[in-house]
Structure 1
């Protein structure tokens, strides 16, 4: 039987173990510090990882939510459609005044141009649309207003004032009703015209109402009579337009409607 040689047991001294741990930590720290000092910043991450981090940071910056405020930038996101009554309609040029070159189309165009400029100044996107514009099919906007003027023939002393009717085909009837109320109120205040209640089927069943998207609130406005209201419509188109624009702003900004104009007999 072979006898094994005995070995001395290792010394388990706590002080020695502590110094060994300290030396190990300093050694690792030295190696890491040397590596990071020698490396270029661009080489600290693999190229694909670096690009992923960059994209993630940029994505977070672009997803910041901007709260809605009444600024021109916000207004420009809102689109207003203005149908110029009888524009491009060769079959129906609208009312024509005898013994003059005044036509309903000309009045509608001049007022529409004023409205467009004023709304653009407020920051809106504005579409001027022809009577049977191809864009009307499925047209979507914050609101659509069709501008017309009434007969140039003298009827009686009560043939004065404006008329307004909204679409009954809208999927947002409450918005259409409010749009009509806003324009009715602000237009009367700006022009001093009474509201004439002789609403015709040509207004309530206006063709564009069945063409536009049902979600678009829409109204048709007869701005006045080309006979008794001719001076206002032809010489003060800016005042007429200001009433229309004020009505649109009332609707968009959800302004209160305090005064209901008194209709004509």
Structure 2
């Protein structure tokens, strides 16, 4: 029995089939777009709902209007607080020098470093400046305070306490008065020292007052006498620095000033 011959089945080209289907789909879509366009163009305005017409108009306007991109605003840097370290870098006047070698500059520097630390912890930038720092010329700051100390020599039993003074020629005397009051109040509270009412012309006419910008409130403080107040100034420096820091913050934050029991009339 002979094997019957048979014709092999015709193979289907898949690529050709897909191409034909795609052409059909594109044709249908193109026809639909043309019909929709003609319908929209020939449709009277009243046949479309007002809301739809308005939304279409808004979409067209939005597409035609470029989006304005504004730059991101950046905060302006806040002015610093200036602290002058009394007699730092002053070769002509090194300040008080005690018999055992302790210098006023050393005391001023130790206090200034702690003041800087305290105020930096409050979020402020603090500049430590030399006595005749070139940066003092036109210096602009939230406040400037110069730190000094009084004589090592024994004068009398009343040679104890601190002094605070501000410029006499300030265009904003109320600011200077406020700063001075804050420093006196907070320093007395922190240290227990009393105000010594012997402000000298060297303090009220302190050179830096004439060098800095007129808008910078400034004061000078004599933290105590290096004789009778030596323990306070050298061993309780944290209290001294806290008094100055709190006085500056009192001014900047416009805090209340209450009378101290140690205030002298």
TM-score band, normalised by the shorter chain? Answer: 0.7 to 0.9
**Secondary structure of the corresponding residue to residue 43 of structure 2:** helix
2:221 aligned residue: 221
Residue among 21, 24, 45 paired with 2:42: 24
1:58 aligned residue: 70
**Secondary structure of the corresponding residue to residue 110 of structure 1:** helix
List alignment gaps of at least 5 residues for structure 1: 1-19, 30-43, 67-73
Q: Residue 189 of structure 2 contacts residue 260 of structure 2 at CA under 8 Å; is this kept in 1?
A: no
Q: CA RMSD in A?
A: 2.9
Q: Residue 170 of structure 1 contacts residue 216 of structure 1 at CA under 8 Å; is this kept in 2?
A: no
2:94 aligned residue: 93
TM-aligned CA distance change 1:23 to 1:123, over 3 Å: closer
List alignment gaps of at least 5 residues for structure 2: 1-37, 49-61
TM-aligned CA distance change 1:264 to 1:151, over 3 Å: farther
Q: How many angstroms does 1:109 deviate by?
A: 0.2
1:160 aligned residue: 160
TM-score, normalization: structure 1?
Answer: 0.74
In structure 2, distance between residues paired with 1:221 and 1:158: 18
In structure 2, distance between residues paired with 1:206 and 1:164: 12
Q: Residue 197 of structure 1 contacts residue 263 of structure 1 at CA under 8 Å; is this kept in 2?
A: no
Q: How many angstroms does 1:257 deviate by?
A: 0.5
2:247 aligned residue: 247
In structure 2, distance between residues paired with 1:242 and 1:23: 81
User: What do residues 25-72 of structure 1 show as CA deviations (whole Å, max 9, x unaligned)?
Assistant: 39xx9xxxxxxxxxxxxxx968xx64xx2xx3434xx469x9xxxxxx
In structure 2, distance between residues paired with 1:78 and 1:257: 25
In structure 2, distance between residues paired with 1:211 and 1:177: 19
**Secondary structure of the corresponding residue to residue 70 of structure 2:** helix
Between 108-117 and 163-172, the greater mean CA deviation after superposition: 163-172
Aligned length: 215
Q: Residue 140 of structure 1 contacts residue 212 of structure 1 at CA under 8 Å; is this kept in 2?
A: yes
1:257 aligned residue: 257
Q: Which has the larger radius of gyration?
A: 2
**Secondary structure of the corresponding residue to residue 234 of structure 1:** helix
TM-score, normalization: structure 2?
Answer: 0.74
